[in-house]
Amino acid sequence: MNQVPIQSVRGQATAQARKAPLTMIDLALFAFIAAVMLIGFRRPFVWVLAYIYVDILSPGRMGYTIMPAIQISLITFCAAFAGWALTDSKREARFTLRQALMAILLMYCWWTTSNADFPIFAGEKWEWVWKALFFAIFLPFTLTTKLRIESALLVMLLSVAAIVISASIKVVLGGGGYERNLFFVNDNSGIYESSTLATVAICSIPVILWFVRYGTIFKPDWRVKTFAYALIFACLLMPIGTEARTGLVCIAVLMVLALRDVKRRLTFLVAGAALVVVSLPFIPQSYYNRMSTITSHEGDQSASTRVAVWMWTLDYAQDNPMGGGFDAYRGNKFVYDMPVTEENIDGNTLSIEYREVIDEGRAYHSAIFEMLGEQGWLGLAIWLWLHALGLWQMERIRRRWRKRTGEDEQWQAPLATALQYAQIIYLVGSLFQGIAYQPFILMLIALQCGLWSYLKRVDTVQAKPQTIGSKLAESRAGGSLNLPDPA
């Protein structure tokens, strides 16, 4: 599914807020946000964490009176930037290549929006895309310490966990189903879209496992480990509860990636197979029916439409190499034949009948084709470069730090690995969803940029004493000593 803009329903929500009575949900959410904002006056970085929480969880869409009316996202967005601009030291801030790529993509999206095929719809999507990209460019400037990196990652994880835990309880008690209302809000958009949440939930598992071993904000004792393993189970329930086919693919990718690090691979494979066999009797038949369309898309209208849209997008890009702006898919229209299997009256034989399907205005259902159709070949190249560079940087950190044995040198390589695995899972899931600008993933990219800059600075600091020490040794051996000026 594509990200559905929420601005189109904001006016309705505000109008309803004026009529609805004040509820405990509104009071609780408002009190929590107010307390966090007050803490931010003492520790302005808390405002950055507040925006991460608000942008992922969307508490403004949960209430009925106060929360829909105060535009908490805009308030925390401005507070986060103002807090950094007024109070943070800029000495350690670095502008990385990936931030430059996101800035170029942001400006390019602005240009395509101003020349979009469908200006009104493009403007609606631009309203949230620019904030997501801008915050991803800004966030690494604030991540100047390990504590800040861990705090941002923890808030991201717990915000997703709030949705996942609530949805998993509903799945266990009442069963799931495709496009069932399992979430805090009755709105199939953003992270609350079923396939998107299934992908993000599986992305989060490598990060959860990192916190189990290396977290310092909450020491990984038995309580933290119990919560973490229960959260992993809840994350694995999301593809089943939502019946999202992409989620099943993401689980398979996670299992393959895990083979890289587990010591007993055969035991891991046997345990995984046993877990699947044990869980089969508890999975509803509707889940099997939906998953069966993964290997053959011809008999499923949703899957067949995706293939038709992808072919249309390739043709569109040939005529519009610079893209058609946000929501350019609204101009598509195509006709295709879809086989429909029917059971005869006697119940013993099946017949296949081909029916003509006419469709138009269908979304891309793929981040690759979303970028190609909306931003053209240049936009797609920038997006692919952005992600490829992230995978390469995390691999470099993994290889550089994994053999270090210092007391505070054990967490770096595993964190880079966790962020890399989360990105790979997202990239595979994004092949079947229009989530190229998903805010959670852009924040994940920002975390990678922050980690890359922080560790480069640490390496530079560690190299200076060695350089001075080598010069001292050279001086004792009769060489000249040229120490830096203390000033």
* Cα 64 to Cα 27: distance, rounded to the nearest angstrom: 10
Q: What is the DSSP string of 446-465?
A: HHHHHHHHHHHHHHHHHHHH
* Cα 302 to Cα 293: distance, rounded to the nearest angstrom: 10
Neighbouring residues of 487: CB distance < 8 A, sequence distance ≥ 6: none
**pTM of the model as a whole:** 0.84
* Cα 144 to Cα 45: distance, rounded to the nearest angstrom: 11
Which amino acid type is present at position 169? I
Nearest Cα to Cα of residue 329 among 374, 394, 384: 374
* Amino acid 120: pLDDT: 93
Return the sign of the alpha-carbon dihedral for residues 323, 329, 333, 338: positive
Residue 397 and residue 465 in contact, taking contact as beta carbons nearer than 8 Å: no
Return the percentage of the chain with pLDDT > 90, whole number. 48
Residue 194 or residue 37, greater confidence: 37
Neighbouring residues of 187: CB distance < 8 A, sequence distance ≥ 6: 4, 6, 9, 61
Q: Which tens digits make up the pLDDT trace of 336-365?
A: 666 666 665 555 555 566 666 777 888 888
Beta strands 350-360; 333-343: pairing state: antiparallel
Residue 131 and residue 152 in contact, taking contact as beta carbons nearer than 8 Å: no
List the beta strands (DSSP E) in 72-194.
none
Nearest Cα to Cα of residue 136 among 179, 91, 96, 86: 96
Neighbouring residues of 306: CB distance < 8 A, sequence distance ≥ 6: 297, 365, 366, 432
Tokens of 69: 């009316």
Q: How confident is the model at residue 42 (pLDDT cuts 50, 70, 90)?
A: very high
- Mean pLDDT within 323-337: 84
- Mean pLDDT within 188-196: 81
Tokens of 175: 């069963």
In whole angstroms, how far apart are CA 239 and each of 66, 196, 244, 249, 255? 33, 10, 5, 9, 15
Residue 50 and residue 79 in contact, taking contact as beta carbons nearer than 8 Å: yes
Q: Would you list the domain boundaries of the chain?
A: 1-88, 160-293, 294-360
Q: Which tens digits make up the pLDDT trace of 251-310?
A: 989 999 988 888 777 777 777 777 666 666 556 555 555 555 555 544 455 666 778 888
Q: Which tens digits make up the pLDDT trace of 51-99?
A: 999 999 888 777 667 777 788 888 999 999 999 999 888 888 889 999 9
Least confident of 22-31, 107-116, 117-126, 385-394: 22-31
Neighbouring residues of 268: CB distance < 8 A, sequence distance ≥ 6: 258, 259, 262
Residue 281 and residue 290 in contact, taking contact as beta carbons nearer than 8 Å: no
* Amino acid 29: pLDDT: 84
- The three-state secondary structure class of 240 is helix
Least confident of 218-227, 350-359, 404-413, 476-485: 476-485
* Cα 101 to Cα 110: distance, rounded to the nearest angstrom: 14
* Amino acid 184: pLDDT: 66
Residue 341 and residue 388 in contact, taking contact as beta carbons nearer than 8 Å: no
Residue with tokens 């480990």: 225
* Amino acid 459: pLDDT: 81
Neighbouring residues of 3: CB distance < 8 A, sequence distance ≥ 6: 125, 128, 189, 190, 193, 196, 434, 435, 437, 438
Which amino acid type is present at position 267? T
